[in-house]
Amino acid sequence: MAAVRAATVEDVSNVVAVHAAVAAEGRWIGTEAPVDFSRFQRLFEASVAADGSLLLVAVDGVDVVGYLGLYPTVPGVLGLGMALAPHARGQGTGTALLAAAVEWATAREGVHKVELEVWPHNMAARALYERAGFATEGRRRRQYRRRSGELWDSIVMGLVLDGTSPGSPYDDGLPGSGAT
């Protein structure tokens, strides 16, 4: 299993390389090849620098073999993206990255939830998130146009960190509505 630590700016080009390699597989993450390296270099660098974001790397010796990013989406909510190089999978590294990220988000003032989207066919990732306590919140149908022209569904998952604040007082008649 690779070791997990916070990324530095020096790691970012290696993170982009992992991101591009996983994108080239064409089936696990939203980004598709060919990857715009300079765009992702800027995005990942920004998440290292920004106070409300987190970039973790999984390292095997000096090699970056995976990453996990958390970034603000709506107030109090962090979006999550992660990927491991193919040779680094299935050894518990994803579990370790996710545990470290959830610990960071839980300790962070004002954060009440972590959210993500995953392709429905990505059973390893869905199982990983479920084991970490994420719930499936829904399926977005034909949400994403792929470069092939296909329209792929996604599964929305969330980990609620604040279960004590009151919910909406308004009942809409659907299960889970009202002050739940």
Ligand X SMILES: CC(C)(COP(=O)(O)OP(=O)(O)OC[C@H]1O[C@@H](n2cnc3c(N)ncnc32)[C@H](O)[C@@H]1OP(=O)(O)O)[C@@H](O)C(=O)NCCC(=O)NCCS
* 90 in contact with ligand X (CB under 6 A): yes
Nearest to 47 by CA among 92, 93, 84, 16: 16
Q: Closest CB to ligand X among 89 and 112? A: 89
Q: How near is the Cβ of 16 to ligand X at its closest, in Å?
A: 15
Residue 143, beta-bridge partner list: none
At position 16, the amino acid (one-letter code) is V
What is the rounded distance in angstroms from the CA atom of residue 48 to the CA atom of residue 61? 21
Closest alpha carbon to 66 in 45, 32, 92: 92
Q: Which of 17, 21, 43, 128 contacts ligand X by CB under 6 A?
A: 128
Q: Which is nearer to ligand X, 49 or 151 (CB)?
A: 151
In the complex, least distance from residue 84 CB atom to ligand X, rounded to whole angstroms? 3
For the chain, first and last CA: distance in Å?
Answer: 39
- Nearest residue (CB) to ligand X, 120 versus 178: 120
How many Cα atoms within 13 Å fall on the side-chain side of residue 36? 5
Helix, coil or strand: residue 63 = strand
| Nearest residue relative to ligand X (C-beta) | 94
Residue 89 lies near ligand X (rule: CB under 6 A): yes
28 lines the binding site for ligand X (CB under 6 A): yes
Residues that bind ligand X (CB under 6 A): 22, 28-29, 82-84, 89-95, 118, 122-125, 127-128
